């Protein structure tokens, strides 16, 4: 079965209205004919027939005019005509014309009124009547407009009802087709992409559905490819995790042996190596356990801050840089400390790389009214002004030698902070002699407390 176009639906709608109008006119004609045959209404020229019968009488008396029906009015004509009811002043010219010529017609949009001269034994009379169908019953004529007007109103009302029914039928048909479009849209929202979209009986909507179905197939193919890619990456990551653990276990075992045999001067170096190995071990544990990675949230307390200070000291030791701590407030919001530790490690590594030997790096952990602020300041050359807007972009680095650094540190750190609705700010510390170093500030909103409690309850 061929598809219908919207033009065809419109033509069919117009045809139904045309048929409705023709049927209505036929029905009104039949009703009028029935009413006339059963003397319910008069024909339009019935008053004219009565007047003509009066004029055919050999002698017409004034009493004959008084016996006329109420829809025929009469008045005697005189030179100084005094208008009497039911005539009005506006009828004077037509009365005068009828008296002179024998007949006058007043035309209007809704009806025509005829004025006709009748010769009576004692003078000249003017009779007036409307050329319109009316009821034979005087009661109906008293309470209702003329029959012709009543039939017209009835016809309009019936046509409007029919028009409404035709419109509802057409709207229902189009709505049924739009429901299919809505179903297809809902399938996409729910990512139910395996089931093909059903077609439509309307060409235009069917074309949209076909286009959406092609998009569905493309999206399904893309999602499958992405899923397979993620699975392959997961396998590679698991393999890499396993490959790293073997030499890491060997390094850890040898460090334990060195601790037993080393002298006092080497203990601090071995301790730093052990901290790095433990850090690497914890990261591998999180990668291996995705569920743990999602749920590993703790509160940032003084013990964690002490661990971070030791981490900074171990990183800074290679350039004999001193780590100073100004403020050490705690952060009462459950967060992923491993993720935040990675952020801090990236920033500290950058600070140590650019800071001069035997300089100072300052750490600060402050609890403010709306934010928890972590600040890291160094005494290096600072950021280039043209680089400040680009440093948080992926794979961007301010180093001249880019072969040994991928430029992902600040970008990844900024993404991690953003997951907690936080913000990372980069700026230069300005002193009397100009730029005195770089400063990185991390702002974590305090209102995450309520969100975290809600998540835990869920």
Q: Are residues 253 and 313 in the same domain?
A: no
Confidence of residue 393 (pLDDT cuts 50, 70, 90): low
pLDDT cut 70: percent of the chain above it? 79
Domain boundary among 75, 100, 132: 132
Query: CB count, 10 Å around CB of 369?
Result: 5
Which tens digits make up the pLDDT trace of 146-174?
Answer: 888 888 899 999 999 999 999 998 888 88
Specify the pLDDT at position 279: 62
Give the contacts of 435 (CB within 8 A, at least 6 positions apart): 381, 382, 428, 429
Domain that holds residue 271: 202-294
Q: Do 360 and 334 have their domain in common?
A: yes
pLDDT, tens only, 67-96: 777 778 887 877 777 777 778 878 888 888
Q: What's the average model confidence in pLDDT over 20-40?
A: 90
Q: 167 lies in a domain?
A: no
- In this prediction, residue 450 has a pLDDT band, given cuts at 50, 70 and 90, of very low
**Cα separation, 358 vs 361, whole angstroms:** 10
Instruction: Quote the longest CA-to-CA distance of the chain.
Output: 158
Q: Which DSSP symbol is given to 191?
A: T
With contact defined as beta carbons under 8 Å apart, do 198 and 181 qualify? no
Assess contact for 311 and 279: CB atoms under 8 A.
yes
Same domain, 425 and 321: yes
Cα 385 to Cα 389: distance, rounded to the nearest angstrom: 8
Looking up residue 414, the CATH number of its domain turns out to be: 3.30.565.10
pLDDT over threshold 60, residue 196: yes
**pLDDT band, residue 238 (cuts 50/70/90):** low
Does 250 reside within a domain? yes
Same domain, 373 and 314: yes
pTM more than 0.85: no
Shared domain check, 362 and 251: no
Domain boundary among 80, 109, 132: 132
């Amino acid at each position: 079965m061929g598809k219908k176009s919207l033009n065809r639906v419109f033509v069919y709608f117009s045809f139904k209205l045309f048929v409705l109008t023709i049927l209505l006119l036929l029905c009104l004609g039949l009703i009028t004919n029935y009413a006339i045959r059963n003397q319910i209404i008069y024909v339009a020229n019935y008053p004219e027939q009565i007047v003509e019968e009066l004029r055919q009488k050999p002698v017409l008396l004034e009493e004959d005019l008084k016996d006329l029906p109420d829809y025929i009015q009469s008045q005697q004509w005189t030179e100084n005509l005094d208008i009497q009811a039911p005539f009005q002043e506006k009828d004077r010219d037509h009365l005068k014309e009828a008296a002179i010529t024998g007949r006058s017609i007043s035309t209007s949009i809704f009806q025509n009124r005829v004025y006709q001269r009748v010769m009576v034994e004692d003078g000249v009379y003017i009779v007036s009547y409307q050329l319109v169908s009316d009821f034979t019953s005087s009661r109906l004529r008293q309470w209702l407009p003329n029959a012709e007007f009543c039939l017209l109103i009835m016809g309009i009302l019936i046509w409007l009802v029919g028009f409404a029914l035709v419109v509802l039928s057409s709207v229902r048909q189009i709505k049924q087709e739009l429901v299919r479009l809505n179903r297809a849209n809902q399938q996409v929202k729910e990512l139910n992409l395996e089931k093909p979209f059903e077609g439509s009986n309307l060409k235009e909507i069917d074309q949209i559905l076909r286009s959406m179905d092609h998009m569905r197939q493309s999206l399904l193919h893309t999602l499958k490819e992405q899923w397979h890619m993620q699975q392959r990456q997961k396998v590679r990551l698991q393999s890499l995790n396993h490959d790293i653990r073997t030499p890491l276990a060997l390094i850890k075992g040898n460090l334990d042996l060195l601790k037993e045999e080393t002298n006092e001067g080497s203990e601090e170096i071995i301790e730093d190596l052990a901290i790095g190995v433990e850090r690497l071990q914890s990261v591998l544990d999180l990668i291996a356990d995705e569920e743990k990675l999602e749920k590993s949230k703790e509160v940032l307390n003084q013990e964690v801050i002490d661990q971070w200070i030791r981490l900074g000291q171990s990183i800074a030791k290679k350039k004999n840089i001193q780590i100073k701590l100004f403020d050490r407030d705690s952060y009462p919001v459950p967060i992923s400390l491993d993720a935040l530790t990675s952020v801090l490690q990236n920033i500290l590594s950058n600070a140590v790389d650019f800071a001069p030997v035997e300089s100072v790096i300052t750490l600060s952990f402050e609890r403010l009214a709306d934010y928890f602020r972590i600040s890291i300041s160094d005494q290096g050359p600072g950021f280039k002004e043209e680089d400040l807007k680009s440093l948080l972009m992926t794979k961007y680095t301010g180093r001249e030698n880019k072969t040994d650094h991928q430029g992902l540190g600040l970008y990844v750190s900024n993404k991690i902070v953003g997951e907690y609705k936080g913000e990372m700010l980069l700026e230069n510390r300005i002193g009397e002699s100009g730029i005195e170093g770089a400063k990185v500030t991390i702002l974590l909103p305090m209102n995450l407390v309520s969100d975290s409690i809600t998540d835990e309850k869920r």
